[in-house]
Structure 1
C-alpha cells in the first residue's frame, strides 16, 4: 500500500488504473488478469462488495435515527462531515479485519492514523467536549486492554491479547467515546467467544490454546457502536 504498486499475484505485472476500478474491473475482465489470464482470487471482489455496504449502512442508520427522533432527514454540513467519518472508519475497520483474518496482524500504519482521525472528527463535530470524550475513550480503551494483556501474561505465561488489539480498542474509543466503550468491549468479547467456539468445533480441539483473530470481532463491535449508539 505504501512501498509498491498493486500487481497481479501470478505474473506480478503492475496494475493500471483501469484494472483497479472496484467491482467493474473484475466484471469486465471476467475475474482474470488482463495480462496472464490467471484467475483473480474472488476474495478481492467480496471485499469490494463489502466496502459498498459501508456508506449504505451509515446512511441508513441516519435515516432511521432521524425518523425516531421526528426529525426531517437532511444532510447538513456537520452531518456530512460525520457521515464521511462513518465511511472512513468503516473502510478502515474492514481493511484491518481482512488483514487480521489473513495474517493475524493489525498494522499500526492503519490503526494509529485512524485513531488520530477519530479525535479530529470528534473536535470537528462536537468541539472541545467532543474531543475530550473521544480522548478519554481512547485512553481508557488502551489502558483496559493493556492491563488485561499484562494480567494474562502474568497468569498464563504467554500472550493472550496482542498489542494490535490494544491499539484497536484505543482507536475505537477515539471514534465512539468513553460512554460506548463498555458496549464495544462486551459485544467484541461475545463475538470473540462465538468465533473461538466455532473454530474449536471445526478443528475438533476444545482447549485454551486455540488462536483466533480478535480484531474482526472488535472491529464489528466498534462499527455497530458507532452506527447505533452515536445516533441516539
Structure 2
C-alpha cells in the first residue's frame, strides 16, 4: 500500500471532486460545464478561495452562502468527500498508472451522477469518457480483458434494450433511460465478465433507495447507483481481487 501517496491524494481528490460535481450541476442547468468562476447558485456572487476550500468551507458556512444564506447544494459536499475517498483508495490499492485512470473514471462518474440526480438525464460526453478510460484500464490488464469488455458491452447493451422494450410493452414505460443503458455499456468495456455483478449490485441499491426514499412516482435516478456499483466492482477487478475468475 502506498500510504504516503494515499494521504496526498485526499486533498487532490476533494478538489477535483468539487470540480466534477460543479460541472455536472452546471450541465444539468444548461450552463457551460467546464469553465467559469465558482459562484453561488442562489445569488450568483463569485466565490473567493476561502469559500471554495473543499469540505471545510461547506462545514464552516453551515451549508449556506455567506452572502444570501441560500442553501449550498449538498451535492458539492458529497462530491468532495467521494472525490477524496476514491482518489485515496485508488492510489492505495493500484499502481500509479492504473490509480490515476481509475480515479479519473470515478470523477467522471461523480459528474454524471450529479447531473442525473438533478434532471434524470446522463450526459453522453460523460459516458464516452467512461468508455475511453474503461478501455484504457482494460488494456492495462491485457488484450483478453479488452476482448471481454467488448463482448460484455454488446451483451449488456442488448440485454438492457430488450428489458426496456419489455417494460414499455407491458407498462407503457421503459423504466430505464437510454442514458443508463449507454453508461452501463461504457462501464462494461472496463468490467468485462464482472459486469453482471455491477448491474446486480446497482439493482439492489436501487430497490433499497426506492424503499427508503419512497418517491411519489416510484422512480429514482438510476445513474448514481449504477456509477457507484460499477466503480466499486471495477476497482476490485483492477486490483485483482477476483483472482483468476475474471481477466
How much does 1:9 deviate? 1.5
1:223 to 231, 234, 237: 231
* Residue number in structure 2 paired with 1:91: 107
Q: Which runs of 5+ in 2 are unaligned?
A: 1-22, 24-30, 242-247
How much does 1:147 deviate? 1.4
Q: Hey, what's the Cα distance between the residues in 2 that align with 1:195 and 1:155?
A: 24
Q: Hey, what's the Cα distance between the residues in 1 that align with 2:181 and 2:106?
A: 19
The answer to whether 1:189 aligns with 2:203 is: yes
* Residue number in structure 1 paired with 2:222: 214
The answer to whether 1:112 aligns with 2:128 is: yes
* Residue number in structure 1 paired with 2:179: 164
Q: Which runs of 5+ in 1 are unaligned?
A: 63-74, 204-208
Q: RMSD of aligned C-alpha atoms?
A: 2.7
Q: Which has the larger radius of gyration?
A: 1
- Map 1:1-232 to 2 at 5 A: 1=23, 3=32, 5=36, 6-15=38-47, 20-23=52-55, 26=58, 33=65, 36=67, 38-39=69-70, 41=72, 43=74, 44-60=76-92, 62=93, 79-123=95-139, 125-177=140-192, 179-200=193-214, 210-230=218-238, 231-232=240-241
Q: Describe the SS at the equivalent of 2:39.
A: coil
TM-score (norm 1): 0.76
Judge which range, 156-165 or 44-53, deviates more. Answer: 44-53
Encode CA deviations 1:87-142: one digit per residue, 9 max, x unaligned.
1122222222222222212111211221122113322x134333222222222222
* Kept after mapping to 1: 8 A contact 2:166/2:174: no
